[in-house]
């Protein structure tokens, strides 16, 4: 009986235990399924890795084997990735906002770069602000914008480790969550690439421990391979024979068919070519540390189990050129080597090992990141999300017909620089003359209707006539133009002369004046005119014109300089029988008197221009003997002359600035615009109201513009003084130049070939281009602010060696211009993606994609054989 009870008790215990184990197992399965379900509902992490100045055309990715293995095998490569502006700050601003430069107004690395206007209008609307407001833990590490001063933390970032100012690897300052910290030159503690890599990994691990269900968005912005190209010590000997930068366009110079800076740049010197080889080597060495960084980030994602739930994007802010077209180094050109960038992406639902040919841009980053985060994309963003290009194609239902393919843009805008300043008459001040011959320009102008009528129209200034030789000439219509000027300015001149004082306290500085019906006397009689002419001849010169390297400069003469009498003078008899000198080639550099004059001056034999060089009486230059024997003395004196020319040019520019300021800051005449006067033609004419003079209506606006201009002038002056202190003579008017010496690179390998100077860009390098890649065409069409045009067919000329704009019909040029102007003014993704916009219009009309594609093929330009007649680079109605 007891045994029976014991067995029944054991069975009861076993049953309870089995039920308990079953419930525990069931609960474990439920928790596991709930965790998996929660895991699926967690939004993905996003890591954007950005490099500075990394190219694709010069083989920089060949040095990054780890990055290529991680991103190519596990993700997708976009083979047609571009930036819309090949400059650091404008491109980065476009990445943050998803907008073209003309919509966020950061035109250059200085113009509006991290300015108060940027901080107030555009910085509060970056993708980081949107993600931060919806639960993402956002973090930024590395270079932000070129002019960021570290005085604040931009909105939208929970963790902020931003580099102050431009790229550096050692001896820099970071803004860490609002506190500035300075770093030295110790490796690895201060090396920027390793520092931001470690900081980002630590932040990711810490965030996942504290907030396991919160998604993370990190932007890791490396300084490499931007200058000063300081590599880690372990990579100082890597790539001793780097030559990937030597492409067919390497040292292809000069280029007379391209815009101004390309025509100005000649072939590189041997020292420049040696520099390009070392520059390529040092750039690749800095990228090896970035390659290590990508491997560390990948291993961190694997260790934390977040790899399958993280999107990793790798790209650059723009490309680079090293020796292409003779340009020693730099960016900012509209060509492939500057606008193409690497672009990798891996993550959920991204096909591994795929190469995607669709055109993606830097303005697509912001909408793509917001789309990954599940947010609505603002309609004012010009870019589009690329997620729909990344989905793995699913099997199509065999009963499904008329399936539409992915429709994407085939053209985009490349823009660089800002609009030229306008003159007072409203026209833009061009910086480059049209290179067409004069007869061709006259021929184009004579096709306008306004020049074909005789000088009978009121206000007509020019008339086109044909001379006896059959050539077209432009003659000025002096009488009609003067009537127009008189009609416009006559009343204003009368008003300014006939003001009367309305108050005793107001001093308008006006002399009483009466109009006389008597004809105006001649300003000078013949005798007075002769005296005035003699005065001009006898007046001592205060400047001398010096020709240097084909350029004419005006040099102020110091005390003690003596003028030389012009030698091309002759005598003729006046009507009264007196001898009268006639100057045929007066140079303006001397004084002369009659030999019989009691105040006769001794004619000096030379002009002292510098302390070692003179201009002789026979127009030849003579210098000290040492300059012709010693190369060192010759170089020193030439540098002295170049420095004097630069100083005088700066002085002239500053004087013009002051003159313009005085014109704009003219004091107001109190109550002087209220006047009444008696006139012979009108009994009474009264001006009522106290409106400002027409020339002072925009005084407040001009004052603000002047202040901005004054700030830029002071900045340029500081740079000039710095160059003078450092004895830097590497400066040319209108050009962006740089110097390189043995002290430039502070880490191995070192430069030991001495200093040199090179110019990389020009002030007039402002352009708008349309880059198109579709099924049939692959071209680049550019309009420069100077009026110059360029067209390259990359199907036949992949390295853009020949400008083929003269092979296009004028109708095709007009069509390209219209399309480019539409892109220049576009706003929002509906306007800024041409193919999508046209498709929407086609869909409304019932058209299909195939019909649209055929229409596009008819619309794009067709090449023809060059003819002897040049169509020219500028035509009527076009604005830069």
Q: Which residues are catalytic?
A: 88
What pairing do the DSSP bridges indicate for beta strands 137-143 and 159-163?
A: parallel
Closest CA to 220 of 190, 198, 188, 189: 198
Distance CA 719, CA 737 (A): 13
User: Scanning the structure block, which residue is given the tokens 């990055």?
Assistant: 67
Closest CA to 220 of 283, 132, 292: 292
**Cβ atoms of residues 44 and 215 within 8 Å:** yes
Closest CA to 863 of 773, 795, 801, 771: 795
Closest CA to 196 of 312, 127, 309, 289: 289
Closest CA to 213 of 28, 34, 30, 25: 34
DSSP state of 547: E
Distance CA 844, CA 775 (A): 24
Distance CA 175, CA 172 (A): 10
Going along 508-618, which residue ranges are E strands? Answer: 543-548, 551-556, 569-573, 579-583, 606-608, 613-616
CA of 293: how far to CAs of 69, 309, 417, in Å?
13, 20, 34
Tokens standing for 268?
């590189």
Distance CA 268, CA 275 (A): 10
Burial (0-12, 13-18, 19+ Cβ within 10 Å), 607 = buried
Closest CA to 570 of 560, 559, 580: 580
Supply the Cα-derived Rg of the chain in whole angstroms.
Answer: 36
What pairing do the DSSP bridges indicate for beta strands 354-361 and 343-346?
A: unpaired
Report the DSSP beta bridge partners of residue 737. 759
- Output the 3-class SS for 258-286: CCHHHHHCCCCCHHHHHHHHHHHHHHHHH
**Cβ atoms of residues 775 and 357 within 8 Å:** no
Cβ-count burial 13-27 (b if 16+ within 10 Å, e if not): eeeeeeeeeeeeeee
Tokens standing for 768?
């708008």
Distance CA 116, CA 122 (A): 10
**Cβ atoms of residues 85 and 109 within 8 Å:** no
**Cβ atoms of residues 640 and 634 within 8 Å:** no
Report the DSSP beta bridge partners of residue 560. none
Closest CA to 591 of 544, 529, 547: 544
Per DSSP, helices labelled H in 678-833 are 699-725, 810-824
Distance CA 382, CA 367 (A): 9
Report the SS3 class of residue 395: coil
Report the DSSP beta bridge partners of residue 426. none
CB atoms within 10 A of CB 804: 18
Measured CA angle at 379 (ends 378, 381), to 5 deg = 75
User: Scanning the structure block, which residue is given the tokens 């053209």?
Assistant: 411
What pairing do the DSSP bridges indicate for beta strands 310-316 and 45-51?
A: parallel
Distance CA 141, CA 201 (A): 11
- CA 174 from chain centre, in angstroms, equals 27
């Amino acid at each position: 009986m007891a045994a029976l009870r014991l067995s029944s008790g054991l069975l009861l215990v076993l049953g309870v235990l089995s039920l308990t184990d079953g419930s525990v197992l069931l609960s474990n399965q439920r928790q596991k399924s709930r965790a998996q379900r929660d895991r699926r509902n967690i939004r993905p992490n996003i890591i954007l890795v950005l490099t500075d100045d990394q190219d694709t055309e010069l083989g920089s990715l060949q040095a990054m084997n780890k990055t290529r293995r991680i991103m190519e095998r596990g993700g997708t490569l976009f083979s047609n990735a571009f930036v819309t502006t090949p400059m650091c700050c404008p491109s980065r601003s476009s990445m943050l906002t998803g907008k073209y430069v003309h919509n966020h107004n950061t035109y250059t690395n200085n113009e509006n770069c991290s300015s108060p206007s940027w901080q107030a209008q555009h910085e509060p609307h970056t993708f980081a602000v949107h993600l931060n407001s919806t639960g993402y833990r956002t973090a930024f590490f590395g270079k932000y914008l070129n002019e960021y001063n570290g005085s604040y933390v931009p909105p939208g970032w929970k963790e902020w480790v931003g580099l102050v100012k431009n790229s550096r690897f050692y001896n820099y300052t970071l803004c860490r969550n609002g506190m500035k910290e300075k770093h030295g030159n110790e490796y690895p503690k201060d090396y920027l690439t390793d520092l931001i890599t470690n900081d980002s990994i630590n932040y990711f691990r810490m965030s996942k421990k504290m907030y396991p269900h919160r998604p993370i968005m990190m932007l890791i912005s490396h300084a490499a391979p931007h200058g000063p190209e300081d590599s880690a010590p372990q990579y100082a000997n890597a790539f001793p024979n780097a030559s990937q930068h030597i492409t067919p366009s390497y040292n292809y110079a000069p280029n007379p068919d391209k815009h101004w800076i390309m025509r100005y740049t000649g072939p590189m010197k041997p020292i420049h070519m040696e520099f390009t080889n070392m520059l390529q080597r040092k750039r690749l060495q800095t990228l090896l540390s970035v390659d290590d960084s990508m491997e560390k980030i990948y291993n961190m994602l694997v260790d934390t189990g977040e790899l399958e739930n993280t999107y990793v994007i790798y790209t650059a802010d723009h490309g680079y050129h090293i020796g292409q077209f003779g340009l020693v180094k730099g960016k900012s050109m509209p060509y492939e080597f500057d606008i193409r960038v690497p672009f990798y992406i891996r993550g959920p639902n991204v096909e591994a090992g795929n190469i995607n040919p669709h055109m993606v841009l830097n303005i697509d980053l912001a909408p793509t990141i917001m789309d990954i985060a599940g947010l609505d994309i603002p309609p004012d963003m010009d870019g589009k999300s690329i997620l729909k290009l990344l989905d793995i194609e699913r099997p199509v239902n065999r009963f499904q017909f008329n399936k539409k393919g992915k429709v994407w843009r085939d053209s985009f805008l490349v823009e660089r620089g800002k609009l030229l300043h306008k003159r007072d008459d409203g026209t833009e001040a061009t910086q480059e003359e049209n290179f067409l011959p004069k007869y061709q320009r006259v021929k184009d102008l004579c096709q306008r209707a306004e020049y074909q009528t005789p000088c009978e129209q009121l206000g007509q200034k020019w008339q086109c006539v044909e001379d006896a030789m059959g050539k077209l000439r432009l003659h000025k219509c002096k009488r009609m133009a003067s009537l127009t000027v008189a009609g416009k300015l006559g009343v204003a001149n009368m008003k300014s002369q006939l003001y009367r004082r309305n108050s005793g306290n107001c001093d308008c500085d006006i002399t009483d004046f009466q109009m006389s019906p008597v004809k105006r006397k001649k300003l000078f009689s013949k005798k007075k005119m002769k005296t005035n002419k003699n005065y001009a001849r006898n007046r001592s010169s205060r400047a001398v014109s010096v020709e240097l390297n084909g350029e004419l400069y005006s040099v102020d003469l110091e005390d003690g300089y003596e003028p030389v009498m012009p030698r091309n003078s002759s005598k003729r008899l006046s009507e009264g029988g007196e001898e009268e000198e006639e100057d045929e080639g007066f140079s303006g550099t001397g004084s002369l008197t009659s030999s019989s004059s009691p105040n006769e001056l001794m004619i000096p034999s030379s002009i002292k221009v510098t302390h070692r060089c003179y201009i002789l009486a026979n127009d030849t230059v003579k210098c000290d003997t040492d300059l012709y024997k010693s190369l060192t003395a010759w170089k020193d004196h030439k540098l002295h002359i170049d420095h004097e020319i630069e100083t005088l040019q700066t002085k002239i520019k500053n004087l013009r600035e002051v003159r313009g300021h005085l014109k704009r800051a003219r004091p107001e005449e109190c109550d002087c615009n209220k006047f009444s006067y008696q006139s012979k033609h009108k009994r009474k004419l009264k001006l009522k109201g106290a409106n400002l003079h027409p020339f002072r209506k925009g005084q407040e606006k001009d004052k603000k513009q002047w202040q901005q201009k004054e700030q830029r002038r002071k900045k340029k002056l500081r740079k000039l003084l710095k160059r003078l202190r450092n004895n830097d003579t590497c400066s040319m008017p209108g050009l962006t130049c740089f110097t390189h010496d043995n002290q430039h690179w502070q880490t191995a390998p070192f430069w030991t070939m001495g200093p040199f100077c090179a110019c990389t860009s020009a002030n007039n390098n402002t352009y708008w281009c349309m880059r198109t890649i579709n099924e049939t065409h692959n071209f680049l069409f550019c309009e420069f602010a100077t009026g110059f045009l360029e067209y390259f067919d990359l199907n036949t000329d992949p390295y853009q060696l020949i400008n083929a704009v003269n092979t296009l019909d004028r109708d095709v040029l007009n069509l390209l211009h219209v399309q480019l102007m539409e892109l220049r003014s576009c706003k929002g993704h509906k306007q800024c993606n041409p193919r999508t916009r046209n498709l929407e219009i086609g869909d409304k009309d019932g058209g299909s994609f195939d019909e649209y594609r055929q229409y596009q093929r008819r619309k794009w330009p067709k090449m023809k054989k060059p003819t002897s007649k040049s169509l020219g680079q500028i035509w009527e109605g076009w604005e830069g």
